[in-house]
Amino acid sequence: MARYGKAASKRVESAMRRRKRGTLKRGKGGKGGKVKSRKQAIAIGLSEAREKGAKVPRKHSGGAKKRGGTKKAGGAKKRGGAKKGGAKKAGGAKKRGGAKKGGAKKRSGAKKSGGAKKRGGAKKR
């Protein structure tokens, strides 16, 4: 039994043609700009077919993809060991001190000059 109906195929073909011509747009009302991706054009075609009631499998949820196939006997297993990052701090996460939200942090000793600075040359130590 076929997964997709003929109407769905026609919708995807139409979307692909519109993408090639540059008339296929993203988002509601076409205000998101032109579609350049082939995959996105196919997705739009299938979405349109779904709206019209064509035979199209239901959308997958946005989460992780299911993996098909069989399990390997005695293969590599995932370990629940230590992660790559640094060690956790005792006492939970602490907030950093510093600039308040929305404000700019002041630099001590550095002044902004109105003129252009020269870059390069010898560095002072």
Q: Which three-class secondary structure state does DSSP give residue 118?
A: coil
C-alpha to C-alpha distance for 118 and 15, rounded to whole angstroms: 54
- Residue 68 domain-assigned (yes or no): no
Most confident of 29-33, 91-95, 107-111: 29-33
- Main-chain phi, psi angles of 34, to 5 degrees: -75, 150
pTM: 0.46
For residue 67, the one-letter residue type is R
- Main-chain phi, psi angles of 22, to 5 degrees: 90, 15
- Residue 113 domain-assigned (yes or no): no
Q: Which three-class secondary structure state does DSSP give residue 26?
A: coil
- Residue 103 domain-assigned (yes or no): no
- Residue 30 domain-assigned (yes or no): yes
Inform me whether the pLDDT recorded for 44 exceeds 80.
yes
Q: Which three-class secondary structure state does DSSP give residue 38?
A: helix
Domains in the chain: how many in total? 1
Question: Over the stretch 69-89, which tens digit does the pLDDT of each residue have?
Answer: 666 666 666 666 666 666 666
Q: What percent of the chain has pLDDT over 70?
A: 50
Q: Which three-class secondary structure state does DSSP give residue 94?
A: coil
Considering only residues 53 and 72, tell me which one the structure prediction assigns the higher pLDDT. Answer: 53
- Residue 65 domain-assigned (yes or no): no
C-alpha to C-alpha distance for 63 and 47, rounded to whole angstroms: 18
For residue 36, the one-letter residue type is K
Inform me whether the pLDDT recorded for 37 exceeds 80.
yes
Identify the domain containing residue 42 by its residue range: 6-52
- Residue 20 domain-assigned (yes or no): yes
